[in-house]
Amino acid sequence: SSEFEDVFSPTLRKQLFTVSFMEDRNGVLKTHSTISKRQEGFLTAVMEENCQTINDLRKLSFDEFNYREDLSSNNELVFVKIA
């Protein structure tokens, strides 16, 4: 959560990344609080697949969410579910 970023030093903040969850409804990408709650499914998938690296995270597929390289950046991983 971005509200906690100030807790970390600027050096450490450069190493952090965010994970975003979106829904594709007929080609329109949406983010809302219900989708953001999917982080629980994401964390479960991370543990079940024993992810150790960011590349491992990019390979995840869970609760019909898939990693989207075209929407992601070096500091944000975006997962999209087709609605």
Dihedrals φ, ψ of 82, to 5°? -80, 125
- Compute φ and ψ for 12, nearest 5 degrees: -70, -40
Mean pLDDT of the chain: 88
Residue 2, pLDDT score: 65
CB atoms within 10 A of CB 31: 13
Return d(Cα 25, Cα 5) in angstroms, integer: 31
Which has the minimum average pLDDT: 10-14, 28-32, 70-74?
Answer: 10-14
Selection from 65, 69, 70 nearest residue 80 by Cα: 65
Whole-structure pTM value:
0.82
DSSP, collapsed to helix, strand or coil, labels residue 77 as strand
